[in-house]
Amino acid sequence: YPWDKSSLKSMTVDLQQFEKLDAYALKVNVKNSVEELVKVLLKQARTDLEKVRAIWMWICHHIEYDVVGYHNKSQLSSKPIDVLQTGKSICEGYAGLFEQMCSIAGIQCMKLSGYSKGYGYKMGQTFTGDSDHAWNAVYLDGRWHLLDSTWGSGAVDDSFTKFTFRYNEFYFLTHPALFINNHFPDNSNWQLLKPTLTLKDFENNMLHNSNFYMLGLLTAHPETAVIQTVNGKASVSVDCRSATLFTFKLKGTDEHGLMTLKKHGMKLDIYPQKTGSHKLQIFAKPSKASEVYTCVLEYVVECKSVDKAMRFPKDLHQPVGPSWFTERQGFLRPSHPDPVIHTNDGRCSVTFTLGKDISVLASLHSDNSSLTEDMRRRHIMQIHHGNQIELKIHLPHAGNFVLKIYAKKKSDPGNYDYIFNYLITCLNTEVKWPAFPQSYSKWAEDYEILEPLSGLLPANRNVQFKLKMHGIAKVLVQAESPYPLTQSRGYWEGTCNTSGCREVFVMVHENANHSFYSHVLKYEVETE
């Protein structure tokens, strides 16, 4: 039946109500007979659901997967009593013991077999021959429900030599629409789905492991495991319930993609820089938790042609562009909601409304320019109007640039934290903007340069100055000789002549009584 996305289970289950029962079932230690074990287990269980839960919990925590027996099946007994007494088995034994315990408890239970996408499954493979896995269906509240105690109990390592108990709630009464993702029963009626899936559908469909659903993720597109690139690009998107953080790896690195976070999910565009088959992994974690990222999806990307123009600078960090995450950090109402900013003349301007008490630092990075630490910042000018910040950007040349944005609380003495980045692209090879003038600590956040914006002034010329500054007594432009600026309507204006000097400084008297000037800006002068 259809999955309404409200629950991962096929019936309403309140796990908190099971806490006492679960704790009791874990402690039961009876090995002499299956009947005896069930009798003791059911002492705390009233309803059929509770009986099934007690049996499930006990098996998941007391029977380990027999990795040795798996490789030597002829020596292996899957009889319930043998499974109980050795405490180990393969899926056949788990499902058989489950079925017998339910039958003793008076609950209808079936042992099912079929194909599974479990250990050793290769993406996109076909299934032929005998079934490779066993699980159960139980009858509760007037209908059938599915569960897999083998997968509920833990996991086997990659070399299939070691089993680790790691309880997985997901496989208890899993909704059939989710169970079909990695269990294909021999008899299609036991899919408990209408319409049922064909084996071909099952083979082609994307494998969502249980982490995918446990993290509150809902759907992923495309739904098939193999993606063909179109003109060198492939796209993946994930929808989820709540704010979730994502990362990805294409052949082990996150360089060849653009990932953006959305309020309910993420979107990823991949541009492989080599043809052939590439493994793509998507990882996720809840936004609040300090937990690590877990792998939630794997695709194979088949790339026929490479889009060389989409070679990203190595400084580009995923995710790219603004999102709910950057909003939480105090960057509101971005002028550019998209991750990529295209500029034709090499200039652009990005604005935000800033949260309270935030100080911002921004820098520009590119693979093919030798910008020093200082120059990376000098191609960006910050302009503040109340709680609005504008980042004016003048690119030094054409190409792909990363605009990195850092922030800290003004009241914090510490370092700036990296928040997010944009990709800025410019194809116009004529572009060659000089840096903005250098500013000193006395240049206040809400001051503004109207002209000259270029940090490099022409030689032997009269240059017009217009600056917006307040709370100042006098302003001087110091070239070969000093040129005072005059104040009118909040602006300081005037001209200076650049002949005979290599540098020009703007200096201020903060107070009419002060005898000394503070440097606020420095311009270079072109050599003749």
Residues whose CB falls within 8 Å of the CB of residue 425, separated by 6 or more in sequence, listed in order: 340, 341, 342, 343, 399, 400, 401
What is this structure's pTM? Answer: 0.82
Query: Under CATH, which architecture does the 438-525 domain have?
Result: Sandwich (2.60)
H or E segment to which residue 507 belongs: strand 503-509
d(CA 150, CA 95): 8
d(CA 300, CA 320): 23
133 catalytic? Reply is: yes
3-state SS, residue 36: helix
What is the pLDDT averaged over residues 423-433?
A: 95
* Averaged pLDDT of the chain: 93
Contact call for residues 417 and 408 (beta carbons, < 8 A): yes
Residue 373: what pLDDT?
A: 80
DSSP label at residue 74: G
Query: Under CATH, which architecture does the 324-426 domain have?
Result: Sandwich (2.60)
91 catalytic? Reply is: yes
Residue 2: what pLDDT?
A: 66
β-strand partners of 475: 485, 508
Residue 178: what pLDDT?
A: 94
H or E segment to which residue 497 belongs: strand 491-497
Instruction: Write phi, then psi, for 91 (nearest 5 degrees).
Output: -50, -40
Highest mean pLDDT among 115-129, 352-366, 503-517: 352-366
Selecting among 60, 61, 91, 379, the annotated active-site residue is 91
Name the segment(s) of the chain with CATH classification 2.60.40.10.
217-303, 324-426
Torsion angle of the four alpha carbons 315, 321, 323, 326, in this order, in degrees rounded to the nearest 10:
50
Q: How confident is the model at residue 212 (pLDDT cuts 50, 70, 90)?
A: very high
Q: How confident is the model at residue 1 (pLDDT cuts 50, 70, 90)?
A: low
Instruction: Write phi, then psi, for 4 (nearest 5 degrees).
Output: -90, 5
Look at the domain 15-191 and name its fold.
Answer: C8orf32 fold (3.10.620)
Name the segment(s) of the chain with CATH classification 2.60.40.1930.
438-525
Q: How far is CA 193 from the centre of its chain?
A: 32
Residue 292 has which token pair?
A: 């690590």
Residue 207: what pLDDT?
A: 86
Contact call for residues 211 and 295 (beta carbons, < 8 A): yes
CA nearest to 330, candidates 416, 246, 245, 414:
416
82: left (phi over 0), alpha (psi -120 to 50) or beta: alpha
Assess whether pLDDT exceeds 90 at residue 371: no
Point out the least confidently predicted range of 289-293, 303-307, 318-322. 289-293
d(CA 47, CA 393): 68
Task: State the burial class of residue 283 (Cβ atoms within 10 Å of its Cβ: 0-12, 13-18, 19+).
Answer: middle
Residue 445: what pLDDT?
A: 87
DSSP label at residue 312: P
Q: How confident is the model at residue 238 (pLDDT cuts 50, 70, 90)?
A: very high
Point out the least confidently predicted range of 18-27, 71-80, 400-409. 71-80
d(CA 452, CA 425): 25
CATH tag for 217-303 (out of 3.40.1390.10, 3.30.70.260, 3.30.70.1400, 2.60.40.10):
2.60.40.10
Assess whether pLDDT exceeds 80 at residue 240: yes
Residue 3: what pLDDT?
A: 75
Selecting among 60, 61, 66, 133, the annotated active-site residue is 133
Contact call for residues 2 and 177 (beta carbons, < 8 A): yes
